[in-house]
Structure formats: C-alpha cells, structure tokens
Amino acid sequence: MPLALLACLLPLSLAAPAPILTPSAYRRDNSAQTAAVSDATIETDFVRPAQFSRIAYCSSQAVTSWQCGAPCAAVGPNVKVLQAGGDDGLIPMYFIAHDQDTDSILLAHQGTDAQNILSISNDVQFLQVGLNTTLFPQAGDGIKVHDGFQKTFERTADGVLAGVQSALNSTGVKKVAITGHSLGAAIATMDAVMLKMNLDPSISLSTVVFGLPRGGNQEWANLVDKTLGTDFTHITNQNDPVPTVPPQFLGYVHPQGEVHIAKANATGATETVACPGTENEVSSLYSMLLYSVSLPGDCQNCSEGNSLFHVSVANHIGMHELTT
C-alpha cells in the first residue's frame, strides 16, 4: 500500500548510536497547533519524492540503466536518466532524470548513513561559514551555512546546475522536482536555492526532502523561506535525531515547511502533521534558556521536540527504507 512508502515498516536492527554530546531537546517557540496532513496529500505530494530519494542510494550504474530492482520498479519505467554523478565517496551520488509521468526534471541526492550524518553535523565542520556568493549570486548579507554541508554541496553544484539546465533545454520541460534524504536533504536544499536563483524564472521548482539536518543560521533559513516559499517541504519521521542537529544553541535554525510523521505502524498507516512556522522566534539565547525544558502548547509533535537521548536512528533510516 502506498502509504507504506513514507515510514519505516521494516524491523531495522541498527546498533544504537554512539553517545552524542550535543544537547538538542529544544522546542520551537511556536504555540500554533499542527494540522493533519491527509493521505491524499501524502500520496500526491510526498510518495514519489520519497521513492526517488530511495533510488538515489542505488549505484550509479543501476540508476542509469534503471535496473535498481524494487526502488526503480516502484516508480515505474517512464523515467529517463540524463545524468548521474558522484563517486560514492567524497562526492555524493546524485542523478538527474526526466520523469515522464509528471513531466518534470527530477534531481535526487544520495544521503549517508545515520551515524555518519550525526557525526558530520556535530564534528568540527559544524562551524558556520559565509555562503558561496558565486553559486548564490543574489544572497544577502549575514548568511552562514554549515561548512561541511556547503563543501559537499560545492563538489556537485556546477554539474547539477549545468545538468538541470541542459535537461530543461533538451526536454522543454518547465518543472524541476528536487529531493534527497539526510545529507542528501541538506545538499538538495542548497541545490534548490541555487537553482531558483540561476534558472529562468518561468521554471517552477518543487522541493521535498526527508530527514533534513539544520543547514545554517537564521538568515539562511530566511533565504530558504523567501526563495522557495511553500514549494519547500521537509519531512521528519518520528524520533529521527538528525533534524535536531546541529542544535539551535550553535545558531542553527530550520526553514519553514516541516511535515512530521508522528506515528507509523506495520500496516503503513501514518499520522502525519504539518508543523506551522519556523524556528524564527527562537533566538539562540532563548534556546539555551529552554534547554531540556518542555513548554506546554509548543509544537510537541514535531522534530524539535525530539531528544537525542531518546532517539531511534531507525527512524532516520526508515524514511527511505521504503516498501511497496
């Protein structure tokens, strides 16, 4: 059943994560109620990006020949892969395809395993650096992003931009759909902002990412909000710890557009809610004061309510460990 696609249905037996010394049990300063997301919305808007995010974990060769087994079969045969890049090492894999069923150009980024993303998010590269103004020509002042994520993004950015432009030119398609999971979600979000700034304004962009870590400071979150608006969704799954890193007290803020899977069970049924607002009202000082304190009325169903001390890494993996 299709809803099974959005949540972890497999009994994953991952080792418990190494202890992480980052407190992250902050809650957003947001008293707005969550709103239920319907099964219909999940099916029309989120399932296909989830399927493509999963395919991005397959080998380049399997993706290019569209022979990746169940993940490719779930999407169906009407996908023409136009470019695949990355080396499965320092340069993460991605692919660009013409999705003929939706008549869009699809860009999907591979992620990394949960242990790795937690360590990347928290290691020395958590330092924030200025945004690359060559790749983001219209970015304003004061924008800072995660050094490690930006370095990884830079390794494929030129190829992604040229590849998407050439795919749009050769197909005449006017829509780009962008997705990724985990580290792939962080890169896909940077790609989306870069593409919006560099592509013809007539091209529409839709970005749906899964298990997104925080990518930068308040100014970066504002830029994502302003540039992508409601065409950006980041889906968080139950107690996945990754959306809670790097923590807010280091000056990291999520953009808006969170949709949270609050519950999922073995039948694939989910309880999924849209979390309004952003972390905008929460200054880093305020975050520190709120550390580990749970406030009544905040967005308890959303990822900011997760604590790294009670996490299930399986919830992170589960987002793309999709079944049909």
User: Taking a C-beta distance cutoff of 8 angstroms, is the pair 282, 200 a contact?
Assistant: no
For residue 272, state whether it binds ligand NAG (rule: CB under 6 A).
Answer: no
Nearest to 203 by CA among 226, 227, 175: 175
Among 100, 115, 119, 166, the residue binding ligand NAG under the rule CB under 6 A is 166
- Side chain identity at residue 6, one-letter code: L
Give burial (CB, 10 Å; 0-12/13-18/19+) of 179. Answer: buried
Among 30, 125, 207, 301, the residue binding ligand NAG under the rule CB under 6 A is 301
Query: Are β-strands 270-275 and 175-181 bridged in parallel, bridged antiparallel, or unpaired?
Result: unpaired
For residue 34, state whether it binds ligand NAG (rule: CB under 6 A).
Answer: yes
Region from 183-191, 201-209, 265-273, 307-315 binding ligand NAG, contact rule CB under 6 A = 265-273
User: Taking a C-beta distance cutoff of 8 angstroms, is the pair 215, 140 a contact?
Assistant: no
Size of the site for ligand NAG (CB under 6 A): 21
Residue 30 CB, shortest distance to ligand NAG, in Å, is 9
Cα gap 71→184, rounded to integer Å: 17
User: Taking a C-beta distance cutoff of 8 angstroms, is the pair 54, 303 a contact?
Assistant: no
Among 265, 292, 294, 324, the residue binding ligand NAG under the rule CB under 6 A is 265
Among 37, 50, 120, 135, the residue binding ligand NAG under the rule CB under 6 A is 135
Region from 229-237, 249-257, 262-270, 284-292 binding ligand NAG, contact rule CB under 6 A = 262-270
Among 165, 171, 280, 323, the residue binding ligand NAG under the rule CB under 6 A is 165
Residue 264 CB, shortest distance to ligand NAG, in Å, is 8
Within residues 215-244, the interface with ligand NAG by CB under 6 A covers: none
Sequence-separated (6 or more) residues with CB below 8 Å from residue 67: none
Nearer to ligand NAG, 73 or 162 (CB): 162
For residue 158, state whether it binds ligand NAG (rule: CB under 6 A).
Answer: yes
Region from 7-15, 41-49, 165-173, 208-216 binding ligand NAG, contact rule CB under 6 A = 165-173
Among 13, 15, 21, 134, the residue binding ligand NAG under the rule CB under 6 A is 134
- The per-residue DSSP string of 209-274 comes to EESPPP-B-HHHHHHHHHHHGGGEEEEEETT-SGGG-S-GGGT-B--S-EEEEEEE-TT--EEEEE
* CA 133 vs CA 67, 68, 137, 146, 197: distances in Å: 38, 37, 5, 15, 11
CB atoms within 10 A of CB 198: 16
Nearer to ligand NAG, 81 or 262 (CB): 262
| Chain-centre distance for alpha carbon 16 | 22
Within residues 65-124, the interface with ligand NAG by CB under 6 A covers: none
For residue 128, state whether it binds ligand NAG (rule: CB under 6 A).
Answer: no
3-state secondary structure of 167: helix
Region from 73-81, 177-185, 244-252, 261-269 binding ligand NAG, contact rule CB under 6 A = 261-269
Residue 224 CB, shortest distance to ligand NAG, in Å, is 18
- Side chain identity at residue 210, one-letter code: F
**Which tokens is 204 given?**
């529409």
Residue numbers at the binding site for ligand NAG (CB under 6 A): 33-34, 132, 134-135, 154, 157-158, 162, 165-166, 169, 262, 265-267, 269, 271, 299-301
